[in-house]
Amino acid sequence: MKYTNNYKPTLSDESILQVIIQERESVGYYNLVHQDTTQFKEYANGVQQKSIVVIGIGGSTLGTYAIYKYLKHSKILKKRLFFLETTDPIDIESKLDGIDLDDTLFIVISKSGTTVETISIFKYIHSLIKINANNCVVITEFDSKLNSYAKVNGMKTFEIPKDVGGRFSVFSAVGLVPLAIVGIDIDALLKGAKEVYSSFFSQGKDYKNIMRKARFFVESKNSFNINVVFSYSSRLEGFNKWYVQLWGESLGKIDINASRQGLTPVGLIGPIDQHSFLQLIVEGKRDKTVTIIKVNDFANDLKIPAVELEGLEELNYLNNREFSSLINMQADATVEAINNLDDIPCDVITIDDVSESAIASLMYEYELLTSVCGQFLSINTYNQPGVESGKIILKNKLKG
Amino acid sequence: MKYTNNYKPTLSDESILQVIIQERESVGYYNLVHQDTTQFKEYANGVQQKSIVVIGIGGSTLGTYAIYKYLKHSKILKKRLFFLETTDPIDIESKLDGIDLDDTLFIVISKSGTTVETISIFKYIHSLIKINANNCVVITEFDSKLNSYAKVNGMKTFEIPKDVGGRFSVFSAVGLVPLAIVGIDIDALLKGAKEVYSSFFSQGKDYKNIMRKARFFVESKNSFNINVVFSYSSRLEGFNKWYVQLWGESLGKIDINASRQGLTPVGLIGPIDQHSFLQLIVEGKRDKTVTIIKVNDFANDLKIPAVELEGLEELNYLNNREFSSLINMQADATVEAINNLDDIPCDVITIDDVSESAIASLMYEYELLTSVCGQFLSINTYNQPGVESGKIILKNKLKG
């Protein structure tokens, strides 16, 4: 007997890694960890305004918001950051209310340069205050029409590389410029992301975790079509939104066999939603995997005092307990309740602390996880044909 | 031939309505629309403090937050409302930062009266300021230990009826007391809820809509196990969270045949998430029903000015367009994109305006929808055995 075949292993961890290494040549986000951040920091140091308003939507804001929301209360930041991202008129008015527009830098971010919502809001700002090179900076692709506008008006611009998709752009100028301006250490962000990068590509612990998790998610996708993230910190709310966007838009695709794929992301805040959504997880259909995210060290010693409340003495066991210990015990209790059932897939991610490197590590880990899931699913992780039809319909309605 | 049987029709609309009418005798939320609100308004009128801090979690805060968030920017409110609901220490500190505690009324809400998170935060407040009958009011069951505490300290109390579950309690004292204090018209809220109540029980349009929708959701639950709500107003964010809780905790249950049930709720903000999550809906697995919520009249004329931006002239068609028209066109475009595919179940709810009655109608409609889905699923909509195990584990960890 003699055998020949052209079979290539496609689903071994090693072969997926090889594809990802190839992909790294053409998908720009991987290499953002190697960036020289000098130009961002130099520009940031020169910004005089006290309020920074980002005008953008989706990929242009969610990642920045995730990092800002996580860090803003635990650092002394020099400036305040605001986001104008929806077309709800009452929301636009209420957000602008209380911002001193004369002391504001506007950062207009649109990858394509012609995002309807972003340009609409930007135009509206023109009716409130004179916009010029002193109070406006633009972040877009180098050849977009928004870039032309900026050049004509002598405005500073930063480039979004063509090969970095909006939802993977948080570690490009999109996130680094506004974050550097308000005083977040962007080198520490990249350091955190780079640790995960290095661990992944050298097949260290992040590689093992991501491969195991992605393989499980994809292999069991017909039973478990939903992934629920329970974040045990209110300040991970922005991360949750970013994750929902990243996961939904990247993995909801038609695969090479014209079969519909997609794992539905749900983002929850643990200490609140363990009182409600957990019911659905525990007694409901077994269609969910659960990821618990904990913060190891809150660096905060806020404590429940030894107060005795008449009638409520049975709760004296709470006395002298730190809130950081309470919230982590809540997380542990949820994990234990789920694991006791033995039929709900659950993983726990513990991030180190409330720091730049911790949140960046988490986000970069999720970007890699998304890329690897996309490979296991045999889809294009980086396009978004499904959101285009609505955009075309909208443009026609607006023109018509 | 002769036939006998004991079959009772259980799934006709009429028979479900009969069961709901029976259920109305023992499930308290239905009849909250008939309440006399005098005591709430009288108390509210006497409150002197400028800041109102609700201490509670889940059902004790989410409904109130949903209404407050929807209305706060479109009304002139006399006071500001804050919510302390998570055990994240950094969140607690940052929320209290900037509130003048000497000019604050604390509203402690816990149905059972012994909610660990709520009592923990309440104890912490004791370490910041003297708590007494002048700056604290309690909302709980009449026989709870928290009620005893309030009585010992001469504090004003409001009762949560035993037969009103936390997640269905927004139209009880839980929601009405804080909302009345800040200046929201609670009679208009109940009027909005009552319109839906009347329409439902007289088999009007709300009855028809709810029956059709619940039947579809339950009959197709094995294909479509997820319901995605796309709210086209940023200020419906609180409603989304409330809906996720209501739906998840009520419908994630084991049915009379010991079979696991549950429709997974996902809450999104339309104008943002149509740029991302919509991809998953359009190209991903057909496992989602989609509900679009629109606001008919924003009563806001914020307009995109006729500004021409060099290089971006192609977007001049945006000029002179009102944002309220733009956001509703975004909604319509999303509906059209989905309907063009012809295989994604989608319904549209258009609420009248940014008013008490509009948001209350929407929320009461959702409460009824939840109850009817529960009947179609043959589950107990009102209990939550699945969240108890985690609570017991937590208490043991805390005591141990």
Q: How far is CA B380 from the centre of its chain?
A: 19
Cβ within 8 Å of residue B82, ≥6 positions away: B51, B52, B53, B54, B95, B99
- Which of A235, A329, A394 has its CB closest to that of B333? A394
Residue A155 has pLDDT above 80, yes or no: yes
Please give the single-letter amino acid code of residue B375: Q
Is A276–B167 a contact, with Cβ atoms under 8 angstroms apart?
A: yes
Nearest chain B CA: its distance from A190 CA (Å): 24
Strand arrangement of the beta sheet that strand B80-84 belongs to:
B80-84, B51-55, B104-109, B136-140, B156-159
Note every long-range contact of A45-51, with CB atoms under 8 Å and residues 24 or more positions apart, other chains counting: A47/A79, A47/A105, A47/A181, A49/A79, A49/A103, A49/A104, A49/A105, A49/A135, A50/A79, A50/A80, A50/A100, A50/A103, A50/A104, A51/A79, A51/A80, A51/A82, A51/A99, A51/A100, A51/A103, A51/A104, A51/A105
Q: What does the block give as tokens for B312?
A: 């971006």
- Which of B148, B315, B340 has its CB closest to that of A119? B315
pLDDT tier at A368, thresholds 50, 70, 90: very high
**Spatial separation of the C-alpha atoms in residues B265 and B331, rounded to whole Å:** 19
- Residues from chain B contacting residue A277 (CB–CB below 8 Å): 244-245, 248-249, 252
- Residues from chain B contacting residue A284 (CB–CB below 8 Å): 248, 251-253, 260-262, 264, 386
Q: What does the block give as tokens for B299?
A: 């009563």
**Looking at the complex, does the CB of residue B294 fall below 8 Å from at least one CB of chain A?**
no
Query: pLDDT tens-digit profile of B303-337?
Result: 999 999 999 999 999 999 999 999 999 999 999 99
Grouping H, G, I as helix, E, B as strand and the rest as coil, residue B282 is: helix
| CA-angle at A356, arms to A352 and A361, nearest 5° | 60
- Which of A88, A326, A387 has its CB closest to that of B271? A88
B208 catalytic per annotation = no
- Which of A113, A226, A273 has its CB closest to that of B264? A226
> Residue ranges of the domains in chain A?
28-184, 188-377
Smallest Cα–Cα separation from B276: which of A168, A227, A348, A23? A168
CATH topology assigned to domain B199-377? Rossmann fold (3.40.50)
**Looking at the complex, does the CB of residue A133 fall below 8 Å from at least one CB of chain B?**
no
Nearest chain A CA: its distance from B38 CA (Å): 29
Residue range B223-246: average pLDDT?
96
Q: Quick check: A134 and A114 in contact, CB under 8 A?
A: no
Q: Beta-carbon neighbour count of residue A152 at 10 Å?
A: 11
**Spatial separation of the C-alpha atoms in residues A359 and A296, rounded to whole Å:** 12
Find where tokens 């002298």 sit. A320
Catalytic residue among B85, B249, B356, B365: B249
| CA-angle at B126, arms to B123 and B131, nearest 5° | 120
Nearest chain B CA: its distance from A282 CA (Å): 5
Cβ within 8 Å of residue A260, ≥6 positions away: A254, B283, B284, B285, B286
Strand partners, B297: B353
C-alpha to C-alpha distances, A219 to A224, A348, B265, nearest whole angstrom: 9, 19, 24
**Spatial separation of the C-alpha atoms in residues B62 and A325, rounded to whole Å:** 25
Grouping H, G, I as helix, E, B as strand and the rest as coil, residue A277 is: helix
Q: Beta-carbon neighbour count of residue A66 at 10 Å?
A: 25
| CA-angle at B252, arms to B251 and B254, nearest 5° | 105
Please give the single-letter amino acid code of residue A216: F
Query: pLDDT tens-digit profile of B77-107?
Result: 989 999 999 999 999 999 999 899 999 999 9
B34 catalytic per annotation = no
Residue range A23-32: average pLDDT?
97
Catalytic residue among A78, A205, A391, A395: A391
- Residues from chain A contacting residue B141 (CB–CB below 8 Å): none
Q: What does the block give as tokens for B8?
A: 């009772």
Residue B26 has pLDDT above 70, yes or no: yes
- Residues from chain B contacting residue A85 (CB–CB below 8 Å): 272
When scoring B323, B332, B335, B378 by the number of chain A Cβ atoms within 10 A, the one with the most, hence best to mutate, is B323
Nearest chain A CA: its distance from B88 CA (Å): 6
Query: How confident is the prediction for chain B on average, in pLDDT?
Result: 96
When scoring A69, A70, A90, A295 by the number of chain B Cβ atoms within 10 A, the one with the most, hence best to mutate, is A90
- Which of B226, B323, B332 has its CB closest to that of A87? B323
Strand partners, A231: A269, A293
**Looking at the complex, does the CB of residue A130 fall below 8 Å from at least one CB of chain B?**
no
What chain A residue is nearest to B259 in terms of C-alpha separation?
A285
Cβ within 8 Å of residue A301, ≥6 positions away: A322, A324
What chain B residue is nearest to A231 in terms of C-alpha separation?
B88
**Spatial separation of the C-alpha atoms in residues B167 and B336, rounded to whole Å:** 33
Smallest Cα–Cα separation from A170: which of A239, A253, A263? A239
| Distance linking the first and last C-alpha atoms of chain A | 70
Smallest Cα–Cα separation from B316: which of A112, A119, A397? A119
Query: pLDDT tens-digit profile of A99-148?
Result: 999 999 999 999 999 999 999 999 999 999 999 999 999 999 999 999 99
Cβ within 8 Å of residue B259, ≥6 positions away: none
pLDDT tier at A9, thresholds 50, 70, 90: low
**Spatial separation of the C-alpha atoms in residues B337 and A393, rounded to whole Å:** 7
**Predicted complex: ipTM over 0.85:** yes
Grouping H, G, I as helix, E, B as strand and the rest as coil, residue A47 is: coil
The CATH number, out of the four listed (3.30.1360.10, 3.40.50.10490, 3.40.50.300, 3.90.1150.10), of the domain defined by the range A188-377: 3.40.50.10490
Query: pLDDT tens-digit profile of B110-120?
Result: 999 999 999 99
Residue B229 has pLDDT above 70, yes or no: yes
Please give the helix or strand (H or E) that residue A329 lies within, else none: helix A323-341
Is A283–B252 a contact, with Cβ atoms under 8 angstroms apart?
A: yes
A317 DSSP 8-state letter: G
Task: List, as ranges, residues 233-252 from A with C-beta within 8 Å of B.
Answer: 233-235, 244-245, 248-249, 251-252
Query: Side-chain half-sphere of B257: how many Cα atoms within 13 Å?
Result: 5
- Which of A114, A233, A304 has its CB closest to that of B315? A114
- Residues from chain B contacting residue A232 (CB–CB below 8 Å): 88
Q: Between A and B, how many residue pairs show a Cβ–Cβ distance under 8 A?
A: 405
Find where tokens 């809001």 sit. A121
Cβ within 8 Å of residue A22, ≥6 positions away: none
Q: What does the block give as tokens for A307?
A: 């107060």
Percent of chain B with pLDDT over 70: 100
**Looking at the complex, does the CB of residue B76 fall below 8 Å from at least one CB of chain A?**
no
Domains A28-184 and A188-377 share a fold: yes
Percent of chain A with pLDDT over 90: 95
Nearest chain A CA: its distance from B204 CA (Å): 31
Query: pLDDT tens-digit profile of A290-316?
Result: 999 999 999 999 999 999 999 999 999
Smallest Cα–Cα separation from B327: which of B271, B268, B267? B271
- Residues from chain B contacting residue A260 (CB–CB below 8 Å): 283-286
A275 catalytic per annotation = yes
Architecture (CATH level 2) of domain A28-184: 3-Layer(aba) Sandwich (3.40)
- pLDDT value for A189: 98
Residue B44 has pLDDT above 70, yes or no: yes
Nearest chain A CA: its distance from B194 CA (Å): 26
pLDDT tier at B400, thresholds 50, 70, 90: confident
- Residues from chain B contacting residue A324 (CB–CB below 8 Å): 89
Query: pLDDT tens-digit profile of A55-72?
Result: 999 999 999 999 999 999
